[in-house]
Amino acid sequence: MNYFKTALLLAALTGFVLVAGYLLGGESGLVIALVAALGMNLFAYWNSDKMVLRMSNAHEVGPQNAPELYGIVQSLAERAGLPMPRVYIIDEEQPNAFATGRNPANAAVAATTGLLRHLSREEVAGVMAHELSHIRHRDTLIMTIAATLSGAIGMLASFGGLMGGGRDSDGRPLVNPIVAIAAMILAPLAAALVQMAISRGREYEADRMGAEISGQPLWLASALAKLHAGTQQIPNRAAEANPATAHMYIANPLSAGGLRSMFSTHPPMEERIARLEAMAGQMGGDYRAASRPTTNPWTTAVPQAPRRGPWG
């Protein structure tokens, strides 16, 4: 998805905030919506990385206590021409990772212990290259803005009944109650669809750029296949407790099924893998070098990593 389309979708989300505020609270609601959107975005701009990392129970690591992971990120950051991001590990068995930060100079990447435990070094490099691509394109800031705007719409819908829409001098409601009820239902749905469109487009682009950074599309393709299997069978406690962070992860960390599958912020994993394999074919890549797993690694017992950490 190019920047023009993303800008249009963000503008649409902003418009939804203002329209929802007006429909639910008249002119006063419009003002409240505008102030809420600006305030939430300003707060998110400065604090989103700290919030996401804290909600995920991530702890920062360095070259002393996670030398291999830190070395992978350092090498890829140099290759991508990026400042070295902070590196975090999340104590979750589900294999997953995300990037956060308002710009490349204030960025961080986080990987779960499950990802470090179950993926090869090459696959971890493919995942980290994907996350660095998000940082390079400032996707982390864009996705934070999208999430906060969607949150503002949800907040307005939740308090819509209390706002009442106001009344004119004759005591009649300024906003048709039926319209207000429809806005309470449809505005969050529309916002979710726009956020989904932004997230999915960004994931495809991060896959492509991540493969270019690592130089090996099949490393990421193989990693995505394992992540898909793992996220289907292993819950992510932190993400389940804070579903607003789900769009940050490289693979959807939430339990599959129902509306969560229908409105997933992530594109189909099969399509992502197919695109990477096609890219490898165009680059003349050796499919045997990083073939996709033929068995599900989560159907058999996996040895536990040492207590000192998976990369110690």
User: How far is it, in rounded angstroms, from Cα 25 to Cα 284?
Assistant: 59
Asked whether residue 126 is domain-assigned, the answer is yes
Contact 230, 94 (CB under 8 A): yes
Q: Output b/e per residue, 26-36; b: 16+ Cβ within 10 A.
A: beebbebbbeb
Asked whether residue 296 is domain-assigned, the answer is no
Asked whether residue 119 is domain-assigned, the answer is yes
29-33, 39-43, 256-260, 273-277: which range is least confident on average?
256-260
Asked whether residue 179 is domain-assigned, the answer is yes
Choose, from 131, 203, 270, 271, the residue flagged as catalytic: 131
DSSP state of 266: S
Q: How many domains does the chain have?
A: 1
Asked whether residue 74 is domain-assigned, the answer is yes
Closest C-alpha to 100, from 110, 113, 114, 89: 110
Range of the domain at 66: 3-166+174-290
pTM score of the predicted model:
0.75
Q: Work out the widest C-alpha separation in the chain, in whole angstroms.
A: 77
Q: What is the pLDDT of residues 54-99, one digit of tens each?
A: 888 999 999 999 999 999 999 999 999 999 999 999 999 999 999 9
How crowded is residue 132: how many other Cβ atoms within 10 Å of its Cβ? 27
Q: What is the mean pLDDT of residues 175-185?
A: 60
Is 245's pLDDT higher than 50? yes
Helices assigned H by DSSP within the chain: 3-55, 67-80, 113-118, 121-136, 139-158, 160-163, 177-214, 217-233, 237-241, 258-262, 269-283
Contact 222, 130 (CB under 8 A): no
Asked whether residue 307 is domain-assigned, the answer is no
Asked whether residue 116 is domain-assigned, the answer is yes
Asked whether residue 311 is domain-assigned, the answer is no
Whether 78 is catalytic? no
Name residues whose C-beta falls within 8 Å of residue 179's C-beta, 6 or more positions apart in sequence.
23
**99 strand-pairing partners:** 109
Tokens 């469109």 belong to residue: 197
Closest C-alpha to 252, from 189, 203, 293: 203
Q: What is the pLDDT of residues 210-244, one digit of tens each?
A: 999 999 999 999 999 999 999 989 999 988 888 77
